[in-house]
Each structure stands twice: as C-alpha cells, then as structure tokens.
Amino acid sequence: MSESASESGEPVRGRHRLRLTLACVLLALACVLTPVAVTAAWADDEVGDTDRFVATMAPLSSNPAVQAEVADRVAEGAVQAVDVAGLSDALRQALGLDPNNGSGPVSGSIQSLLSGVAEQAAHAFVTTDAFGVVWRDALRLAHASALSALEGKDDGAVSSSGGEVVLDLGPMVDRVRQSLAGQGLSIATNIPSTDRRFVLLHRDGLRKGQDAFRLLNTAGTWLPIVVVLLFVVGVCVAPRRRRVIMWAALGTLLALLLLAIALAVARRYYLDELPPQISRDAGAAIFDALVRFLRQTTRTLAVVAAAIAVAAFLVGPARPAPTIRRVLAVGPDAAGGTLARTGLGTGSVGRFVAERRGPIYAAVGLLGGIWLAWWNHPTVSSVLLVVLVVLAVLAVLEVVAAAGTGRPVEAGR
C-alpha cells in the first residue's frame, strides 16, 4: 500500500516541479522584458506621435532656461543676418567719408547697438503668448524632422547622418525684426530672413539609435501585451500562485527600479555630451520634458508592483500577515457585530460573503486592476486612488460579512 502511494506520488511531485520551473521561467522573462516594454510603449506613444510630442514639449515655452537660450539664439541670428559692414559704409558715405569695409568704430557701434536692442526685443518676445504659438509650430516641424532622422531619411532640416534635431528659429527672428521696426529702429528692416536653428536634441551618434528606435517603435504595441500574457500564463501554471505572484511583483519592482536608474544615467550622459554653446539648464529641461511620460509610467508601475507584492504577502500565512489582518479587521468586525446586535444583520448575504470571501475579494481586486488599466495614462495618484477605493470596498464587505455571521470574520478563517 505504501509502495503504491509512493509510486503515485512521484509523478505528482514531478509535475509540480515542472509547473514551478515553467512558471519561474515565464515570470522571470516577463520581469526582464517589463522595462523594455515600458520603453517601447513610450517610444511608440510619445516619440512616434506628433500631437503627443507637441503637447509634452509645448510647456517648455514658459521655462526660463529655455526662454533665455532661445532668446540668445534669436538675437544672435538677427544680428548676424544684418550686413553691418554695408550699413557702416553707407553711413560713412552719407557723411562724406570713404568706406572702410565695415572696420572702425562706426561698425562696432552699430553692432553693439543692434545686439543690445535685439537681445532686449528677443527676451521680451519669448515671454509673450505669441512665442508659445511659434514654439508649438516649430516643435511640430522639428518632430517631423526628428522622425525622418530616426527613420534614416533626409528632409532638408535634419540629416540622418547629421546627429542633430533642431528648431527653425526663422519665424522668431521675423517677429523680433517686426518688434524692432515697431520701436523705430529702421535698420532692423534690413534683417533678412534666416534659417537660424536651435538644437532641441543633440545626438552625435544618432545613426546608432536608428535601429533601436525602429525596434522599439515596432514593439511598442505588441510587446506590452506579450509581457502581460507571460505574467498571466506564469501565474496560472504555478502550483503556489500567491507566493509566485508576490515574487513576480517584487521582480517587476526591481526591474523598474533599474529602469529608473538607467534614465538617471542617460540624463547625466546627455548633459555631459551637450556642446558648449547649449545651456545645461535648457538641455536638462528639454530632456526632462521628453522623458516625463516614461518616468511617470515607471513610477506608476513600480507602485502597482509594490501594492501587489504587499497584498500577496498579507493574504498569506507567513508572520506577521495573520496579525496584521486581525488588526485591520477589528473595526469592520466591530461595526458588523453592532449591526447584528441591533437587528440590522445582513443575514444570508453576509454569510455568503463570509463563506466565499476569498473569491469575492479577489474579484474586487481584479476589478480595481481593470479600472486602473482602463485609465488613460495612469499616474501614481490614480494608483493610490484605486487602492483606496478597493480597500474601502473590502472594508464594507468585511462589515457585511460580520453583520451576517454575528461574530468576527477572522474567527472563521
């Protein structure tokens, strides 16, 4: 009899180990792919979508560092576009003097005057609402150029081998020229149209990122789905699902923390590689705005993973989970008991909840997860809101269960 039980138990243990091994492999792969999936979704949703890119970068028009950088470039472009030497010679001829090809104090005075007035006008312009409109239009054009560069195409604005994504400051120079002319500075009308540019993203190795961008852009839609399926299948085949869920959540949390560290390292590398003429503060503002959604998603998923890990631990038998559950159930159990004693018991409904509390509470958690997944670009605040709502619903269910049984629910666990 014992030999028969031993022989029948061996295949069961073998299947148990096989299922556990398969679950570990699937969940480990899902954890490793999570940062890649998040980055791919960001590339597809943020970098690959012009409207969202413009909406993300448009607030930079009110950033002081970016305003100062753009104003300096616009003023510089406006002054360099003027033929100061020609104006100086024309003025000398009007005074009966011989031209000197722009050399001498007259040329220097015109240069200084024009530079000072242009800087004043440019800095005044970047603080107006009109600058925000021009900035958005320039961003839209720059995004098309960036996509062309990342796709290895040449569109005249950005070369696939150039390594720079730029904003055309020509319209802004035109606005400054109009402003100067409106102030009575007639020589400003001599400022010609210019293609002065402001480097939005400086990438000496842009070609190296083209293959990676294509891969991430392609995987942005299906890779997150694959990761979710890996988690679901891994949990379903696992023999001890609660423990597997807890470790999978912790593994995901660790992977997301590594992604956050990688973003911090990338930011420092990007700032260190900026050319000297680019303001470090402006470069930091641009980088932070570009990866804002990626950082936000990373933090949000990290909070979700931490919440799942804590929940999986609290429903288990390991210490101090039972003690914590009893402490958390004191209030709802007392409220339910009071309702039962005053004749407001929940009867069969409460007993049904108490007997099937595990599946019911799991369903509440699943509905909370569906609600969060339905959220358009959830944040840490939205995750905390969902968690609080789920906890409130669970507390109400605890009260209903206690009011139906007339005794603490924990005693029946």
Residue 177 belongs to a domain: yes
Q: How far apart are CA 233 and CA 410, in angstroms?
A: 32
pLDDT at 346: 81
DSSP string of 315-380, one letter each residue: TSSSTTHHHHHHHHHHHHHHHHHHHHHTT---HHHHHHHHHTHHHHHHHHHHHHHHHHHHSSS--H
The answer to whether position 67 is within a domain reads yes
Residues 362 and 339 in one domain: yes
* 31 and 68 belong to one structural domain: no
Is 225 inside any structural domain?
Answer: yes
What are 275's two structure tokens? Answer: 């050319």
| Within a domain: 94 | no
Q: Indicate if 73 and 200 belong to the same structural domain.
A: yes
Amino acid present at 77: G
Classify 165 as helix, strand or coil: strand
| Residue 265 lies in domain | 16-47+215-290
234 shares a domain with 195: no
For residue 200, the 8-state DSSP code is E
Give the bridge partners for 167, in sequence order. 198
pLDDT of residue 153: 61
Are both 252 and 193 inside the same structural domain?
no
Same domain, 65 and 166: yes
Determine whether 30 is exposed, middle or buried from the number of CB atoms within 10 Å of its CB (0-12, 13-18, 19+). buried
Question: What is the per-residue pLDDT across 353-406, written as a single tens digit (0 to 9) for each?
Answer: 888 888 898 899 889 988 888 887 788 899 999 999 999 999 999 899 888 876
pLDDT for position 108: 56
Q: Judge if 283 and 335 occupy the same domain.
A: no
What is the C-alpha to C-alpha distance for residues 410 and 413, in angstroms, rounded to an integer? 5
Token pair, residue 409, equals 């629910």
- Establish if 378 belongs to a structural domain: yes
Can you tell me the distance from the alpha carbon of 372 to that of 196, in angstroms, rounded to the nearest whole number?
A: 46
242-271 pLDDT, tens digit each: 889 999 999 999 999 999 999 999 999 988
Domain boundary among 204, 239, 274: 204
Q: What's the one-letter identity of residue 42?
A: W
What residues in the chain have per-residue pLDDT under 70?
Answer: 1-12, 47, 77-115, 117, 145-146, 149-213, 216-217, 406-413
Indicate the residue type of 121. A
The domain boundary, picked from 142, 174, 204, lies at 204
Judgement on whether residues 63 and 196 belong to the same structural domain of the protein = yes
Extended beta strands in 135-278, E state: 164-168, 197-202
In a domain, 306, yes or no: no
Q: Which of 204, 236, 255 is the last residue of a domain?
A: 204
Contact (CB, 8 A) for 248 and 176: no
276 and 339 inside one domain: no
Where residue 278 falls (left for φ over 0; alpha for ψ -120 to 50; beta otherwise) is beta
Distance, in Å, from the CA atom of 117 to the CA atom of 99, rounded to the nearest integer, reads 25
Structural domain total, the chain: 3
pTM (2 d.p.): 0.72
The conformation of residue 7, written as its DSSP 8-state character, comes to H
DSSP H helical ranges for 43-128: 50-57, 64-80, 84-94, 105-125
**Contact partners, residue 409, CB within 8 Å, separation at least 6:** 329, 332, 333, 336, 354, 357, 398, 401, 402
Two structure tokens written together for 123: 């800095």
**Is the peptide bond between 64 and the residue preceding it cis, with omega within 30 degrees of 0?**
no
Note whether 20 and 237 are within 8 A (CB).
no
256 and 276, same domain (yes or no)? yes
- Residue 5 resides in a domain: no
The answer to whether residue 305 is domain-embedded is no
Same domain, 64 and 160: yes
Single-letter residue type at 258: L
- Are 192 and 326 members of one domain? no
